[in-house]
Each structure stands twice: as structure tokens, then as C-alpha cells.
Amino acid sequence: MRQHVNVVTLGVADVGRSHRFYVDGLGWTATLHVPGEVLFLQIGGGVLLALWSVDAMTSEAGATARPDGEQGRAAVTLGHNVADEAEVDAVLADAVRAGGTVLVAGARRSWGGYSGYFLDPDGFRWEVVHNPGLVVRDDGTVVFEG
């Protein structure tokens, strides 16, 4: 298996609500929208975020459960890197206006960056981060400097 991911798929309760949040609220562009079924958003070179009806997802792929049965800890965080601290705060405010909830306000972190967290309408956690050591090169390669 080659080391790459082309699609990150999240099961959502209401595809229309996801469209209102990501497209109408945050201003993202839909690559494909099948109302009530799935919404695809291009999030990088060759990478899509799919927001798929959780009922359809479970029907096709089966149900999942944590092996330890533990509740209350989100095992996934989606990261959105931005240019500076002010943009972190601006994106968090955009998420609230679009219908999201700030989980953790923007703050300086011990590792040298600045980040905050929001939840989308389905409770998926997004980190909005300015990481001065993370550099995305013109060819899409990500490197850590400093």
C-alpha cells in the first residue's frame, strides 16, 4: 500500500446541515453534492473531505465501536493550518457564525505555536493552528523546520 490518503470521510447526521456549515457558512466550494447523501470538498492537492450520511455509511461499511468502550474522548482531530495567530482567531469566529461551537479559544502553546479548537455541527473537532515550524512547499510536501 502506498503512503497517501485521497479521501477523509466523516459520517454526518444531516448532509444538508453540513452543506450549510461548510459551504454556505465557511465559504468552501463543493466538488460534488448529492443532497441527503454526500458532500465532497477538495481540501488539498488530490485530497477530498467527504461528509457522508452516517446511516448510508453504516449500511455500507458497518458499524464501529471503540474496543475499550470508553466515551467522551474524541479520537480524531482535523487540522487547519493558517498563516498567523490573528487568522486562528478569525477562523474560529467564522466557525461560530457558520453554526459551529468553539471548544477551546485560541492560545499560545508550549510547542511554540498558537491554536484553538471548534466543533462542527456533528461534533467533529477541528484544530485551527498557526505552527511556525510547519511549512508546506510549493510541491505540496510538508516539512517541519526549526
Per-residue pLDDT at 5: 84
User: Are 39 and 80 part of one and the same domain?
Assistant: no
For residue 32, being part of any structural domain is answered with: yes
CB 121 within 8 A of CB 18: yes
Per-residue pLDDT at 46: 84
Per-residue pLDDT at 61: 74
Determine the distance from the C-alpha atom of residue 39 to the mean position of all C-alpha atoms in its chain, rounded to a whole number.
13
In order along the chain (146 residues), what is the average pLDDT of each group of 10 residues?
86 96 97 95 91 88 65 72 96 97 95 93 92 86 82
Query: 56 φ, ψ to 5°?
Result: -65, -40
DSSP 8-state secondary structure symbol assigned to residue 110: T
Q: Is 79 helix (H, G, I), strand (E, B) or coil?
A: strand
Residues with Cβ within 8 Å of residue 110, at least 6 apart in sequence: none
User: Are 51 and 101 part of one and the same domain?
Assistant: no
Query: 26 φ, ψ to 5°?
Result: -90, -15
> Quick check: pTM over 0.75?
yes
For β-strands 47-53 and 7-12, DSSP reports them as parallel
Structural domain boundaries enclosing 54: 1-62
Per-residue pLDDT at 115: 95
Helical ranges in the chain per DSSP H:
15-19, 54-61, 85-98
* Domain final position from 9, 29, 62: 62
Per-residue pLDDT at 74: 52
